[in-house]
Structure 1
Amino acid sequence: MEELKAIENKEFENEMLKQVKELFLFSCYTGLAFADLLSLKPENIFTANDGMKWIKTSRAKTGTPVYVPLLKQAISILNIYNQDAEYIFPSTTNQNINRGLKIISEICEIKKHLTFHLARHTFATTITLMNGVPIESISKMLGHTKLSTTMIYAKVTQSKVAMDMAMLQQKMNENE
């Protein structure tokens, strides 16, 4: 999480790095794969009856429908981009994004090897799983048809196990 905050808090004057940062963070907060992010159109964003904004799209890789509720961080990034264009985000290559992420990781002094796919992994673990979102919901948002696929992303970390057990203990204490 601290690496994510380091990227979020860093201001870039270079337009290319600014765009790489925004696309990477958008994926961190939505779980969208690179191809799905680039194919996102304004009509893929809708507001539900409760006022919450959602992404409704299909995975480029499998055609599986995906519905993702938008967190405020993702909405802020979305608002930067032209909603009147055919595609929300400007076209680029995965190679260019990963090149930019290498520079960003050096500037932010992040030791991890950053790739765009790591954003999807971050969504599955740091953003959702570590905050108590059930694995079944994460699986749906990632567009996985099998829970076993999601389990690859969402390795249950020791801190998650500790957190879950602390919550269980608290519930058991309340029932005494």
Structure 2
Amino acid sequence: MLKNFLLLITALLVSLLAFRAAHAAPVPTPGSPAPDFTLSDAKQEQHQLADYAGQWLVLYFYPKDDTPGCTKQACSFRDDLFQLEKLGAKVVGISVDNANSHAKFAEKYKLPFPLLSDIDGKVAEKYGALTNLGVLKIAKRYTFLINPKSNIAKTYLKVDTSRHSQEIIDDLKQLQASP
């Protein structure tokens, strides 16, 4: 009896996940306008897409503050920030963590760029970067390179945290060299 009950629960969970995956928002494609957002950072200051108009924006979504992969990714952006800014790019991170969690994470690793709180996951959903398991919402590790006209220039849906920042630097150089 217990075995049948567990099988039923497992089947329901798999069905729910498949349903949610089938109904997830699409990922914006290169050339399309970047979805607008207004979110607060760790200091409760508002950031919106329009704040970055006229410059390149590396908008990266990540699952959780102070976890190994997210820390490696954030620290790589920190370490390469001079090169990114030299190419005219700003870096902004987004997760569903709250402002207090972002503040501790940024302080611990001396992150000099904003981490925005998307607690309800609405912005991540607009970018197709939300895993929504009902009561549990997690941002996927997706990055969007947004051009100075606020259009998606490139999407990164499979991120290798050990080389992601350098990959973006290389792509920025290539995109800026193109006519």
If asked which structure has higher relative contact order (CA below 8 Å, sep 6+), I would say 2
TM range (shorter): under 0.3
Q: TM-score, normalised by structure 2?
A: 0.27
Q: TM-score, normalised by structure 1?
A: 0.27
